[in-house]
Amino acid sequence: MNVTWLRSDTLEVGVIAHGARIVAVRAPDRHGQWGDIALGLADEDAYRRDRDYLGACVGRFANRIAGGRFTLDGTEYRIPLNEPATALHGGTGGFESVPWERAEPRDGSVTLRRTSPDGENGFPGTLQVTVTYTVEGPLLRIEHEARTDAPTVVNLTNHAYWNLAGAGSVEDHEVTLAASHFLPVDEHLVPSGPPAPVADTPFDLRSSQRIGARLREGHPQLRATRGYDHTYVIDGDPDADGLRHAVRVVEPRSGRTLELRTDQPGVQFYTGNMLDGSLVLRDGSAARQGDAFCLEPQAFPDSPNRPDFPSTVLRPGEVYRSRSALRFGTTG
């Protein structure tokens, strides 16, 4: 593969142009031993066949649009369904499945660009999109920008799968999520109502908890999604960079840690529930449910159909921006 590597003394990140994907992240454990902590595939052909969005920029609209249709300024738009009742991550043939133009890296940073033409996958407006990945010491910064020539909807995120141990189950990873509310979903994994309190439910991750601690409880929301696959509404005020602390994850054996800050209102916490063993990873192993987790900063799903959710409408002259920072480290 033609991989662009971004490196610091404590972090290495590999990026390819197909799908503007992160294909590898390497970081040391508490003993200084380096390891791969993001799920990756063997070659570019494998990424072209991938249907699990490994490391990709997903869009135009991350997460699910109910029925693959929405109305904007009085006109209904239809997006090809790639699930029985939803358009997931922009529908069939989204941003993850196309080549991007990659600029020459500089100062630990690389920018990828593409033009999404008017009507692509049913979305209105010609969209100019950039994704920039930057490595600064222990930080991986991800910045999305988009501009349009006609009103449209935009919701972009990165879909990396993480395992801070490098292999095996992530159920012993300890997660803290700064959110007092989450979005319950229906049988199609589309929000079924307004944000609900996490208190007294398995979704209360405001204090550190093993991912697997309550994963198999009989809560109807866990049954509906076969694990965690929900948007959390991030609490708190932004810092001087305009980002809010959202998530901290600790892997106790290796001591590796991951902290996420973002300017987005929500983070989708997903425990790889649809990994069924058919995806063969770079090391030859088969990826299964519980082998990784995703943290996807984004707007609320199905927001084009929900006026009570923050708007995802982008109009000519406006600039869509999404910024996140992931800090990798170790415990004592």
Active site residues: 159, 296
Helix, strand, coil: what percent of the chain each, to 5? 5, 40, 50
What SS3 state is found at 241? coil
Report the amino acid identity of residue 110: V
Q: Give CA separation, 37 vs 30, 81, 290, 328, in Å.
A: 14, 32, 14, 10
In angstroms, the CA 226 to CA 220 distance is 10
Strand pairing partners for 212?
Answer: none
Cis bond upstream, residue 7 (ω within 30): no
Tokens of 79: 């997006």
- Segments in 64-210 forming alpha helices (H): none
In angstroms, the CA 54 to CA 15 distance is 12
Helix (H) or strand (E) holding 47: helix 44-49
Contact 27, 10 (CB under 8 A): yes
Phi and psi based region of residue 96 (left: phi greater than 0; alpha: psi -120 to 50; beta: remaining): alpha
Report the amino acid identity of residue 140: L
**Rg, Å, the chain Cα set:** 19
Contact 229, 202 (CB under 8 A): no
DSSP output for 210-233: ETTSSTTS--HHHHHHTS-EEEEE
